[in-house]
Amino acid sequence: MKVLCGIGGSDDSFRALDQTVERAAVANDDLTVAVVDNEDSSVAPDEVMQRARAAIADAGIDADVRRVEGDPGSRLVEIAEREEFEKIVLGGGHTSPMGKITLGPIAEFVLLNAKTSVTLVR
Amino acid sequence: MSDRRYPDAAADDFPAPPTEFTDREDRTVEIRPYGGSEAAYESLVEMYDAFDPSDRAQGIPPGGEKRIREWLDAILDDDCYNVIAWCGDQVAGHATLVPDGDAYELAIFVHQEYQRAGIGTHLIRGLLGHGQAEGVEKVWLTVERWNRAAVSLYKKIGFETSNAESFELEMGLRLNEDEEDGTDEDDEG
């Protein structure tokens, strides 16, 4: 399957990265990791790129890592449509001190606007 | 996450528990702070184990006894404030304040057998009275926007909406005036 995994450096985005890479190794997915701007993230995009490349190398698969600038939600939806991705994978949300899950603005936008299926990784 | 907004003025005084009242079903209900006893802990586990999954909010309470215990261990920690609504030796409801930086996150759950009887209002007022007495300054919560009953309860209590841009509404309440200084006149409007 042609999969687009969008990560911005939040904890849940790294969880999504690891699980998507693992899954791609088993299912032989055609994976692209898009490193997007996330203003809520404390990890710089370069470091996020490195983490993505390392995860891909560890899994021994071949996947594309690219830096995607601009509004993250709309850029992911646009890339998925233009390049005919079949699925978008994102982090499953931030967990509050109480344990409540809240979805960030990127996930909300992609869920409502994507034409493809969207997977949120918990 | 730290730029949450709160009302400028502190809320009125809430009654500090223990308090007792008769609910709309004529049941005697007592609101008491959680004291850490094993019996109270097990009664809480029992309530959450029987909790209707359709009343879950944003993933809590979790399902299954093991996850319920893990979750309770985190929110019943010494730095949290917890209040229980008791009907005899049964837990009718539970409300909690969990520290988050300089504020506290609030959640409240009333077991389905005890809903629509006025217990939620007493319970949240009891929790806020407890927090107020302990010097808590700021409280925030999130609520699913379709949950009108909860949203109107929070508004009635004095919570103001601080963020309405997501699936969930975020609301804030000031319980006590700022201790450090009174010059909290930042970017209003």
- Whole-angstrom distance, CA of residue A53 vs CA of residue A17: 10
A120 contact residues in B (CB cutoff 8 A): none
Between the alpha carbon of residue B85 and those of residues A15, B126, B169, the distances in Å are: 38, 9, 26
State the DSSP H helix or E strand holding residue A100, giving kind and residue range, or none if neither.
Answer: none
Q: Would residue B73 count as lying in a domain?
A: yes
B102 contact residues in A (CB cutoff 8 A): none
Chain B's closest residue to A122, CA to CA, is: B59
Position B4 scores a pLDDT of: 87
Look at the block and give the residue holding tokens 């960030």. A104
Query: Quick check: B11 contacting A, CB < 8 Å?
Result: no
Q: Of A56-65, A77-86, B85-94, B173-182, give the lowest mean pLDDT range.
A: B173-182
Tally of domains in chain B? 1
Position B180 scores a pLDDT of: 59
CATH of the domain at B35: 3.40.630.30
Position B184 scores a pLDDT of: 45
The answer to whether residue A104 scores a pLDDT higher than 90 is: no
A99 contact residues in B (CB cutoff 8 A): 59-60, 62, 71, 74-75
B166 contact residues in A (CB cutoff 8 A): 102-103, 105, 108
Which 3 state secondary structure label does DSSP give A113?
Answer: helix
A contact residues 26-65, partner B, Cβ 8 Å cutoff: 40
Q: Would residue B93 count as lying in a domain?
A: yes
Which 3 state secondary structure label does DSSP give A96?
Answer: coil
Position B186 scores a pLDDT of: 47
Model pLDDT for residues A26-55, shown as the tens digit of each residue: 999 999 999 999 988 889 999 999 999 999
Bridge-based pairing of strands A101-102 and A87-91 is: unpaired
Q: Would residue B5 count as lying in a domain?
A: no
Bridge-based pairing of strands A2-7 and A30-36 is: parallel
Position B189 scores a pLDDT of: 41
Rounded to a whole number, what is the distance in angstroms from the first to the last CA of chain B?
A: 19
B120: left (phi over 0), alpha (psi -120 to 50) or beta: alpha
Q: Would residue B2 count as lying in a domain?
A: no
- Whole-angstrom distance, CA of residue A4 vs CA of residue A2: 7
Question: Is the Cβ–Cβ distance between A92 and A101 less than 8 Å?
Answer: yes
Domain holding B67, by residue range, is 19-174
pTM score of the predicted model? 0.87
Q: Would residue B153 count as lying in a domain?
A: yes
Mean pLDDT of chain A: 96
Q: ipTM score of the complex?
A: 0.83
pLDDT tens per residue across all 189 residues of chain B: 457 899 999 999 999 999 999 999 999 999 999 999 999 999 999 999 999 999 999 999 999 999 999 999 999 999 999 999 999 999 999 999 999 999 999 999 999 999 999 999 999 999 999 999 999 999 999 999 888 889 999 999 999 999 888 888 999 999 998 865 444 444 444
Percent of chain A with pLDDT over 70: 100
Question: Is the Cβ–Cβ distance between B45 and B33 less than 8 Å?
Answer: no
Candidates B59, B100, B168; nearest CB to A97:
B100
For helices B148-157 and B119-133, give the axis angle rounded to 10 degrees: 40
